[in-house]
Chains A and B, each alone.
Chain A
């Protein structure tokens, strides 16, 4: 591309791994990433301190929202091979089912990637990918040259 901003030696996976490594909050949640086919997926291991409702019990909605945020931004970094982090402008989360205290998976699709902004859709599931527990639409500002 001949553009100093996009480092051709970098792969999307390297960028996503570094992005995750530097995000202390995502590490605190122990979010991991994996590649399934050509898609990046995230995994959130279940943990007792992530329970929001002890009666059901269910994972905290805020934690699921955080996983959607991290999944959307990692998918964007991966697909666009971003060396710098995109910035979340807003996110709209729909909670569809109770998040049971199980492993939670996440995946996202970049709907539109512009020069300054990107629109991403993310979803989470547990045992069945066809039964999402939460979905989100997010807008990101892309890092500009020199940032």
Chain B
């Protein structure tokens, strides 16, 4: 997994080259949906650090993640995930992400996630007995 430098525009761009261990089924050799979900989750978390309202060192936890799988993609291809944090309000970060075939640009999956941000010290605020 590689963070793409000099990516134009807001948000971040991450590349994941196909690998046999990411196969959904050995007979079809396409990316497993779980692997696509995992890289979307990861990129979504990373892109929050790129948002101007993000305070360095703040911890984050995924609240929810929804992913639509639009088409399948062969493991001979590379996946590019673009993720952008749309807003950080009341310690909740809202992220949109798409995964596309890096060569053709065709969208493979679309994700929507929200994250709960902690305090800059990295300690979660305690509410009531834990």
B35 within 8 A of A: yes
- The smallest beta-carbon distance between B4 and chain A, in angstroms, is 19
Classify chain B: how many residues form its interface, as a range. 20 to 34
A23 adjacent to B24 (CB under 8 Å) = yes
Instruction: Give the distance in Å from the alpha carbon of A123 to the alpha carbon of B72 in the complex.
Output: 25
- Surface stretch bound by A, among B7-15, B56-64, B82-90, B98-106: B56-64
B32 adjacent to A90 (CB under 8 Å) = no
Partner pick for A24 among B21, B33, B62, CB 8 A cutoff = B21
B5 within 8 A of A: no
For A90, the closest partner residue in chain B by CB is B68
CB-based closest 3 A-B pairs:
A62-B38, A66-B34, A25-B32
B59 adjacent to A53 (CB under 8 Å) = yes
Instruction: Give the distance in Å from the alpha carbon of A88 to the alpha carbon of B109 in the complex.
Output: 11
- The smallest beta-carbon distance between A12 and chain B, in angstroms, is 18
A55 adjacent to B59 (CB under 8 Å) = yes
**Residues of B participating in the A interface, judged by any CB pair closer than 8 Å:** 20-27, 32-35, 37-42, 45, 59, 61-69, 72, 122
A61 within 8 A of B: yes
**Residues of A participating in the B interface, judged by any CB pair closer than 8 Å:** 19, 22-29, 52-53, 55, 60-63, 65-67, 69-70, 85, 87-95, 98
Residues of B within 8 Å of A85, CB to CB, are 24-25
For B20, the closest partner residue in chain A by CB is A24
Residue picked from B34, B59, B68, most chain A C-beta under 10 Å: B34
Instruction: Give the distance in Å from the alpha carbon of A27 to the alpha carbon of B26 in the complex.
Output: 11
Residues of B within 8 Å of A95, CB to CB, are 61-65
Assuming the contacts A23-B25, A62-B39, A65-B41, asked whether A91 and B64 have C-beta atoms less than 8 A apart, the reply is no
Instruction: Give the distance in Å from the alpha carbon of A94 to the alpha carbon of B61 in the complex.
Output: 11
Residues of A within 8 Å of B42, CB to CB, are 52, 60, 62
A91 adjacent to B37 (CB under 8 Å) = yes
Residues of B within 8 Å of A28, CB to CB, are 21-22
- The smallest beta-carbon distance between B35 and chain A, in angstroms, is 5
Assuming the contacts A53-B59, A60-B42, A62-B42, asked whether A25 and B64 have C-beta atoms less than 8 A apart, the reply is no
- 18 A-B residue pairings within 8 Å (CB atoms): A22-B25, A25-B21, A25-B22, A25-B24, A26-B32, A27-B21, A29-B34, A61-B65, A65-B37, A65-B38, A66-B32, A91-B37, A91-B66, A92-B64, A92-B66, A93-B65, A94-B63, A95-B65
